[in-house]
């Protein structure tokens, strides 16, 4: 484990030599001061239609997660088929914002754009996690069922009761993730919280930003109080009714043109026949796209990912004592909990957007955003992991307790969570290119802006393949180090 950690640390240090970490704003400290003052003086009356944007954020999240759970649960039952596993890996490798950009070209600002953008990748994630949960259930209840019990009855009477608590816990966590995804959909024009956040940021109205974020934190922080099983049908009906009031039409000729023409590679689209000359033009087109856009995007995406992965690990080691009873009392843990909840509840996209306003366009805001967000998530999990640890009567205190007693015992679990998040960090790194950082998302967004949908789809495909490759490497490392991750905790 130490050798693996040192190897990744060396890779990250090597990546730093090639990364663009320049601060380009004239006076970042002045802007940070304005932001800090705005955060301390929230203005809850500055945003028009604030309640509507919050409800829209919740509605997209609820309907997206409902769709993901229906299809994800069905796919989990078929997850033993290789084609199902590969299909789920592919759809979850594409970020929700990429899906939103695709559906935006098909449906426009129709609610289907947001619901499908959340529901499709989340279905792939849910299928994987639910399959892992069901696989880990105790087989004994199946053995005591009466002879001749059918597959369906065995499933609902023996497997589901065991797994229900885990499925419910993970479903609630997935809703929290969906709220973050729903919020950032506003940055591409959907009527969620991100739409008002982008407007407030661009105008320097930081008190308005503070109010929006506080309400968002309250929504996520109280999710366990207002989300009850018996209220789910009411919430879903209310969400559907709210979004049905959006007067945006779907033009099926646009859908047909997108599927049959727009995404077809240009050399094939303009060719009269699929002959050798057409294939040559297709090769030249793909080669030019890969050399000039995909390859630089891959390199920059990996640079940011590897630095962010190691930075997330370093911050995790600093953060987890903040909520551990082994280091702080009740009040200290409460403050640490609030601090980590704020960081992990704020989407990386929003953190990076703030960083870009303060520091200018470079890789630095992306790295800071990814490290802070993921460090807070893993730090929270490791902090909880320390709670049941029993200490010897002669255990040291302070830094010695941390270095010689706690850290060696939680380090395997820390690495398990960190490598599990590697895939997620790569997905987020790619999408941060939409903000102007030259990762793969930058070239995808540029292709959409230039109405070159064939290029955009190919770049998204390359992004998905890269993500699946990193996920495979991560699984091999975890298996080689015998690291286990509880599915509902990730």
**pLDDT per position as a tens digit, 299-321:** 999 999 999 999 999 999 999 99
Q: Which residues neighbour 364 within 8 Å (Cβ) at sequence distance 6 or greater?
A: 20, 21, 22, 23, 355
Q: How many CB atoms lie within 10 A of CB 334?
A: 12
How open is the CA angle 355-359-363, to the nearest 5 degrees?
A: 75
Residue 63 has pLDDT above 80, yes or no: yes
Query: What are 282's two structure tokens?
Result: 């297709």
100 phi/psi in degrees, rounded to 5: -65, -40
Return the percentage of the chain with pLDDT > 70, whole number: 93
Residue 28 has pLDDT above 80, yes or no: no
pLDDT at 487: 46
93 in Cβ contact with 120 (< 8 Å): no
450 or 149: whose pLDDT is higher? 450
Residue 83 has pLDDT above 80, yes or no: yes
Q: Write the pLDDT tens digit of every residue in 369-417.
A: 999 999 999 999 998 888 888 877 777 778 888 888 888 888 888 998 9
The whole-number average pLDDT for the span 105-117 is: 90
185 in Cβ contact with 97 (< 8 Å): yes
From 313, 307, 345, select the one nearest 439 (Cα to Cα): 307
Query: What are 177's two structure tokens?
Result: 């993730």
Residue 464 has pLDDT above 50, yes or no: yes
Query: What are 383's two structure tokens?
Result: 């902090």
Q: Exposed, middle or buried, 106 (CB in 10 Å: 0-12/13-18/19+)?
A: buried
316 in Cβ contact with 375 (< 8 Å): yes
The whole-number average pLDDT for the span 230-240 is: 91
CA distances to 41, 83, 123, 188 from 67, in Å: 39, 21, 7, 22
Structural domains in the chain, sorted by start: 1-40+271-490 (1.10.3720.10), 42-262 (1.10.3720.10)
pLDDT at 365: 92
Q: Write the pLDDT tens digit of every residue in 130-154.
A: 888 877 766 655 555 555 555 455 5
Q: Which residues neighbour 1 within 8 Å (Cβ) at sequence distance 6 or greater?
A: 411, 412, 415, 481
pLDDT at 409: 87
CA distances to 151, 396, 405 from 393, in Å: 52, 9, 12
300 in Cβ contact with 438 (< 8 Å): yes
Residue 99 has pLDDT above 90, yes or no: yes
From 238, 207, 185, 168, select the one nearest 53 (Cα to Cα): 185
Q: Write the pLDDT tens digit of every residue in 202-212.
A: 888 888 888 88
The whole-number average pLDDT for the span 10-36 is: 85
How open is the CA angle 249-254-260, to the nearest 5 degrees?
A: 150
How open is the CA angle 188-191-195, to the nearest 5 degrees?
A: 55
180 in Cβ contact with 349 (< 8 Å): no
Q: Exposed, middle or buried, 2 (CB in 10 Å: 0-12/13-18/19+)?
A: exposed
CA distances to 10, 155, 366, 425 from 17, in Å: 11, 54, 16, 20
pLDDT at 209: 86
482 or 15: whose pLDDT is higher? 15
The whole-number average pLDDT for the span 264-288 is: 85
């Amino acid at each position: 484990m130490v050798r693996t950690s040192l190897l990744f640390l060396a890779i990250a240090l090597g990546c730093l030599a090639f990364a663009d970490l320049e601060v380009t704003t004239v006076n970042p400290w002045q802007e940070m001061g304005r932001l800090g003052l705005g955060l301390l003086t929230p203005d809850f009356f500055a945003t028009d239609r604030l309640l509507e944007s919050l409800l829209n954020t919740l509605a997209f999240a609820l309907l997206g997660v409902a769709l993901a759970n229906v299809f994800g649960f069905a796919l989990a039952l078929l997850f033993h088929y290789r084609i199902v596993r590969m299909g789920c890996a592919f759809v979850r490798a594409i970020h929700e914002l990429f899906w939103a950009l695709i559906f935006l070209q098909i449906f426009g600002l129709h609610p289907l754009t947001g619901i499908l953008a959340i529901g499709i990748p989340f279905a792939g994630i849910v299928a994987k996690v639910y399959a892992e949960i069901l696989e880990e259930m105790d087989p004994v209840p199946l053995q005591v069922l009466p002879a001749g019990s059918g597959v369906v009855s065995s499933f609902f009477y023996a497997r589901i009761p065991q797994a229900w608590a885990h499925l419910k816990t993970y479903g609630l966590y997935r809703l929290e993730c969906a709220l973050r995804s729903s919020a950032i959909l506003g940055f591409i024009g959907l009527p969620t919280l991100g739409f008002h956040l982008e407007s407030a940021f661009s105008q320097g109205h930081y008190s308005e930003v503070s109010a929006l974020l506080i309400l968002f934190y309250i929504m996520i922080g109280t999710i366990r109080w207002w989300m009850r099983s018996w209220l789910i049908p009411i919430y879903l009906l209310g969400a559907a009714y709210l979004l049905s009031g959006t007067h945006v039409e779907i033009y099926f000729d646009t859908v047909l043109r997108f599927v049959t023409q727009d995404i077809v590679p240009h050399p094939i689209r303009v060719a009269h026949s699929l002959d050798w000359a057409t294939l040559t033009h297709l090769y030249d087109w793909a080669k030019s796209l890969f050399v000039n856009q995909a390859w630089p995007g891959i390199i920059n995406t990996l640079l940011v990912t590897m630095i962010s992965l190691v930075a997330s690990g370093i911050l995790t080691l600093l953060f987890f004592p903040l909520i551990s009873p082994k280091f702080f009392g009740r009040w200290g843990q409460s403050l640490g909990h609030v601090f980590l909840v704020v960081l992990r509840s704020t989407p990386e996209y929003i953190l990076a957007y703030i960083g870009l306003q303060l520091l200018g366009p470079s890789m630095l805001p992306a790295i800071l955003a990814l490290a802070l967000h993921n460090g807070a998530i893993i730090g929270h999990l490791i902090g909880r992991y320390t709670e049941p640890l029993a200490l010897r009567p002669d255990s040291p205190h302070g830094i010695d307790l941390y270095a010689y007693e706690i850290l060696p015992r939680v380090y395997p679990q820390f690495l398990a969570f960190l490598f599990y998040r590697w895939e997620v960090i790569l997905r987020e790194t790619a999408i941060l290119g939409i903000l102007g950082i030259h990762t793969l998302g930058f070239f995808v967004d540029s292709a959409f802006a230039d109405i070159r949908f064939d290029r955009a789809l190919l770049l998204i495909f390359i992004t998905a393949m890269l993500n699946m490759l990193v996920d495979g490497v991560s699984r091999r490392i975890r298996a080689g180090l015998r690291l286990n991750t509880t599915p509902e905790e990730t």
